[in-house]
Structure 1
């Protein structure tokens, strides 16, 4: 790849990437919010309420083209964790690819995650096929220091080209499954296929997507990103990335705590209001 001397003609100049970008906790949007208050009575809440005057645009999805549906959903159901999946083919050829569709925790007991694949006739999904054939895969979480390398593995390269070579990332042996994990990843989840489900458009017998459920057998977390309790990851050290539509990725900058309400307290407030 050649050097990038600047933004393409006609596009605004982008600010340089700030390597020092510490994660910090702030107050919630309305620290004075009380049970039953609804929309926050802050300047942000008032503006949000005022924006209702602009109305809503509504799409009936059965009458919306797949390309338009992709744009709508990809830019609204955000942020989405990226499934960076390592697999092996039945011939032991390694494959590594990121997927913008949902990586979700489904269950803690047993530990189950989901990964979904959009299918297109001209874009075979080797990762999906490998999982269905070998029943094994590794999900590696992507952090800022190697986001470019991870993104590069999405290239539609010929079958004889390894995404590992394209990215320059390092294969590390897994404990339980055959596919390697990404050594640069701070978190890797070794998985066995738990269940798969093809999804079909209305009236069409060719699937448009496949949902994969994986049972997590081993979790690897770098010691350097763990909190002092040795159990939870520190988001400031993990530096996770996500997708927010189009070609745009997002980083984690701020967060705020909201305590889960206790019914005994909520009940008293509601009784007092009634």
Structure 2
């Protein structure tokens, strides 16, 4: 009976979260409806001629939404550190890798970067809406001896394979060890401005309340993750829609018809799903 109630609740949540696709009548060759105002031209940004702050503004506002990694690490003297990073993504599942990068300053070091380089261990904790403010406050540029856990009020819970703790309030925590670290410079410069880190995920901890009905994947409607946009703006993940992945076997007849029509010129008949 308990399982039946749980499945019913999950189905209700899915129904509330999932909506139909944006263009349910779309078919092969349709492209996109005109949604950009034709009165406005495209504006080009030449990054080789722009300041780093202006480059940051356009890129962080355009490449969105970005997931947030709340990273727990330890200094060599044992001082814990907690900080959020939105230059973060999944790399692959074989092996299971995530990437996180650090913008370097000539004035002060990135404590998380230094900790990972020295200890080779860290945890990534996915940020959900209920503790957005607590996670955000750990971004303060505090001295190295400051324990951001105290500032945030978030709770440490022990990891099993690495020394840095996981965040108890996070529904998804990943125990990671350093797989790759590379300092990067702009072209034709020796100035180090970015560090790219790849982390090998050794173990994941997922709160059962955010799993789907099969218990094999995370339900985003339950996880309620937040994402970083530009500036100080964040986003809620409020709804999703499903699109079947296109198979070449299914798409090939449409492609062949569209290719023949293109070869015949603009007056040829557009592909029809009924043909």
**What is the TM-score when the length of structure 1 is the normalising length?**
0.86
1:33 aligns to 2:43 (yes or no):
no
Q: Which has the larger radius of gyration?
A: 2
The whole-number CA distance in structure 1 between the counterparts of 2:177 and 2:35 is 47
* Matching residue of 2:93: 108
Give 5+ residue unaligned stretches, structure 2.
Answer: 1-14, 261-275
Give 5+ residue unaligned stretches, structure 1.
Answer: 1-21, 40-44
The whole-number CA distance in structure 1 between the counterparts of 2:71 and 2:38 is 41
1:65 aligns to 2:51 (yes or no):
yes
Secondary structure of 1:165's partner?
A: helix
The whole-number CA distance in structure 2 between the counterparts of 1:158 and 1:26 is 46
* Matching residue of 1:91: 77
> Deviations 1:206-232 (Å, cap 9, x if unpaired)?
210100000000000001101111111
> Deviation of residue 35 (structure 1)?
0.8
Secondary structure of 1:54's partner?
A: coil
Q: How many residues align?
A: 246
1:144 aligns to 2:92 (yes or no):
no
Matches within 5 A, 1:113-262: 113-262=98-247
The Cα RMSD (Å) is 1.5
The whole-number CA distance in structure 2 between the counterparts of 1:61 and 1:158 is 32
- Which has the larger displacement, 219-228 or 117-126? 117-126
Secondary structure of 1:188's partner?
A: strand
**What is the TM-score when the length of structure 2 is the normalising length?**
0.86
**Once superposed, which parts of structure 1, at least 4 consecutive aligned residues long, lie more than 3 Å away?**
none
* Matching residue of 1:55: 41
